[in-house]
Structure 1
């Protein structure tokens, strides 16, 4: 569908996005470039909101439904630059691949959305298309996207996170759980006069590991995994620790809530209170906060629900048929990681799918890359998905 000149223009946009570092909270250069590019490509409107999200609008000839194509502008850091064979921000091309941080996660998909949708003839659209690049997805899945959805009443959402050009119809969610045990400080030469919070944490951890968790036939098993542990004071310096704090990563299936996730741990704490003298503990969903590059504060609980769209839903079925009909083989699949779909589908119930170039396994890796062939096919896929849904 794309002619050679268009393919080169798309590759150029992708390279320019990669060349602009955009850590979470530092996406301003990418946002400004995207806004400028949208204007040059003939979008009807393009703007940056108060949180730093960039939004472009393409108006159809007739009124109809609203379709949002969404991706995030931020990337994880380059933690080991000495191990990269390619400049992380050079956007070098070699053997049909564009290399650089964010190439796969997810500046390739963003460039394909931005460019591909601009090629759709307005007279073939009944409704409006929005292309959205959000901030801070890597640390707050869906929170910044929610600020966009507060103002744009989407009928459909298409996420650009990597699917290998399949149609993803769901994902497990994610919760960050904080468990604390309380103790009493004492000199470590006289531990009997204190209460060691770490010792009290040990049976609690063991109990949490033995919890029976739910499963879903399509999304997979719910998971709980310890990701960090620290005691106070730290360093100890001959002091019996008076607090121990553990973080658990909890992967969620559809239907799980904050209350249902915390209840078995709360029950375990109550059971241990009856068995261990002076046992004191608490559990909660973690809260995070950060400053966007525009100076706006984002604060939210780290609870991002799972979601699943029925295969027979028109968004899923029409999108699958559309890409298959232009010769891009696709099937229904799912994400293994958490995405902004936790906000659109999990919180708000907006029909959502994922469709993006590249493999999940290429996210956050050394010498991250995207295949140019996948990039081009993604743009062509976005064109036919939008044209089909808003026909």
Structure 2
């Protein structure tokens, strides 16, 4: 059964140029792997005005519970300058024990290994006593509007319910078995526009430079720190990511300036409490005359970005225990249970069932010459096999 080989599975997927939001043949290739295993495969096209249409895939084996979901994405980031690659980014060539290609670790490799693991479990013992589903999007590397969030709702509206989910993102920093992601910090973005009075740089008394105010407000957002971290999470961290006047002239004081920021926040904060704290800081700084002696308080507007990501932590011993046990059995390592890193589609899945993330080593993701050790593909497949069997043994007990 060809799908028992994770290397062949991954080569088939990499050879599909599915640069987000293009399907590129990747979902078709995945469906061809899953259908012979008995999965009922459905394709779903998601649309929203102002965004690209995105094709997604949902496949299920079995009709009863317990129900384990594997989630991931077949879309990949652009390759950059193709001539910089030592091997063509969509050729899936193997050299010196490494398989090269865009998506090798992020995250077609995880999908290839889970398919191989399922194929081996079925070949050895038959289908698990319950259900397994694949929830695969083509929009994780894009706006994340027409992908997992809509596919989940589409499936739930059809009556799908899940007991647990494993996301196959590359979670390991150095080697397989290092880390399971059991949660993520939240993410909130906003933009501050500071208003001034345009004028000649040589006559500042006739103008009001909004850059001074923007600097003051930006400083207030970044200092002091929001917190020192919590038991399960890193400290919350705010970064000002751009300050822009739209002014190309060096002798003109601009009329306005916009500063954008993003904060990754831990479980000390909710969206509402964090927004309140940020506004409090801005209003206090706006009234401080240090950078604007003799001037009125800084005039600013604060606009929040849509779709903030909420902080979450998975506390489900059946799920984390089965995965940790499988990792220890195959690698001999005890994985760290971590909430580090950025956001992933797990932030949507946690509203439907407990979710954890575990996949390949992520050192080359999004890079030129993205690659994975062929040996790691076999090891991850073995981990997934042990996890599938262990989870169903405990969930069905």
TM-score band w.r.t. shorter chain: 0.7 to 0.9
Change (3 A) 1:204 1:117: same
Shift of 1:34: 1.8
Other structure's SS at 1:225 match: strand
Instruction: List gaps (5 residues or longer) in structure 1.
Output: 288-300
How many residues are treated as equivalent by the alignment?
Answer: 365
Counterpart position of 1:11: 7
Counterpart position of 1:55: 58
Tell me the TM-score normalized by structure 1: 0.84
CA distance in 2, matches of 1:189, 1:225: 32
Other structure's SS at 1:37 match: helix
Counterpart position of 1:321: 325
Which one has the bigger strand percentage?
A: 1
Instruction: List gaps (5 residues or longer) in structure 2.
Output: 47-54, 290-295
How do 1:135-214 residues align onto structure 2 when only pairs under 5 Å count?
Answer: 135-140=138-143, 144-150=147-153, 151=156, 152-163=160-171, 164-165=176-177, 166-186=179-199, 188=201, 190-214=203-227
CA distance in 1, matches of 2:150, 2:279: 32
Counterpart position of 1:219: 233
Deviations 1:232-280 (A, max 9, x none): 3x43486432222222231121253222222222112222343351521
The RMSD of aligned alpha carbons is: 2.6
Deviations 1:275-316 (A, max 9, x none): 3515211333323xxxxxxxxxxxxx2x22232223x62111
Residue pair 1:262, 1:284 contacting (<8 A) in 2 also: no
Change (3 A) 1:140 1:11: same
Greater CA deviation, 312-321 or 135-144?
Answer: 135-144
Counterpart position of 1:229: 243
Tell me the TM-score normalized by structure 2: 0.83
Residue pair 1:66, 1:156 contacting (<8 A) in 2 also: yes
Deviations 1:202-235 (A, max 9, x none): 1111111213312123332211112222113x43
Change (3 A) 1:362 1:172: farther
Counterpart position of 1:260: 273
CA distance in 2, matches of 1:317, 1:18: 32
Counterpart position of 2:257: 244
Residue pair 1:25, 1:135 contacting (<8 A) in 2 also: yes
